[in-house]
Structure 1
Amino acid sequence: MLGAAADSLDILLVFAGLFSAVLTTFVAQTSQSLSIDNSAVTVSLLVELVSVQRAALTGASLSDIASANLSPAIERTNIWVNALWFTSLALSLASALLAVLCKQWLRQYISFSAVSARERALIRQFRYDGMEKWAVRTIIGLLPTILHLALGLFLVLEYTS
């Protein structure tokens, strides 16, 4: 039971690490589309400044000059893509964290100090009861589902964007 669980956790950790690294690259690139385009803001402010100077030279009213557009033009699709990719990354990292915790539980489960056979049996039963209480096998079984969900979010958005 423990060997199979530890092996599957090793595979999950490798996959979660590789997937998180790839996803982080995508998130780093697409998250730049959420920031304000500084060059567009600069151009808009320069146009307004030139208009103010022309109005001052010609004696025209300053109230007729259009103010600079400083609001960022962020598309809704960029917001959705980034939100779902960040969610995918969070799920991937959460599954990696849970896998590490499960590996620690399994390692603790099989570790024994130099005690009598009776004490080892009592300790083993106590640890087994704790694993059942905390549903460690269920958590290990859910980790692939969490990673599949994260991968699904990534792939759906990758092909729709």
Structure 2
Amino acid sequence: MASARLPALTLAAMMMAAGGSPADAACPQALAVYDEAQTGAEIAFAGPLPDVDGMQHRFSLSFAEGGVTMDGVVMMAGEPDRPWGVIMHDCPQGDATGAEIAACTVWEGPVYIIGVEGAVDWLPAREAMRTAGDRLLLPDFGAAVMQSQAWQAERITTLPGDVFRLKACQE
């Protein structure tokens, strides 16, 4: 058992010695953890989803400031069909009306990844289990947070940017 873990530990040690981090290794998008530079807000993807789920990805978004946590999903939507993210805060549990979901939606829009070389692409679909992007782009996310109940209640007082950088890979 210890010998099976040795290569992964050796790889992590070699990357650290070279100035990298384990997050720099190939990490599937479904296991990626990102953070935002200004606020330290963190997006943690929930891992691979079953096909019956209907979503491409699920994730949690947490702000250290105020202990605010939000839920996020990515589905295929729009014209043309593309990864569309929705971030919600304090939504009712169980069956909810469209009006209730709209009231607790903080942000929605297309989700992009930015590669190490700066190339911008759609967030990979869950089936691909492709390598996570170096950065995650949620256009106008910071502006949307300013309209949220968490901002109005001053539980969040520093606006996040729209770009999150790859921080780690979950096991």
TM-score relative to the length of structure 1:
0.22
Q: Which has the larger share of strand? A: 2
Q: Which has the larger share of helix? A: 1
Greater relative contact order, per chain length (Cα 8 Å cut-off, separation 6+): 1
Whichever of the two has the greater Rg, that structure is: 1
TM-score relative to the length of structure 2:
0.21
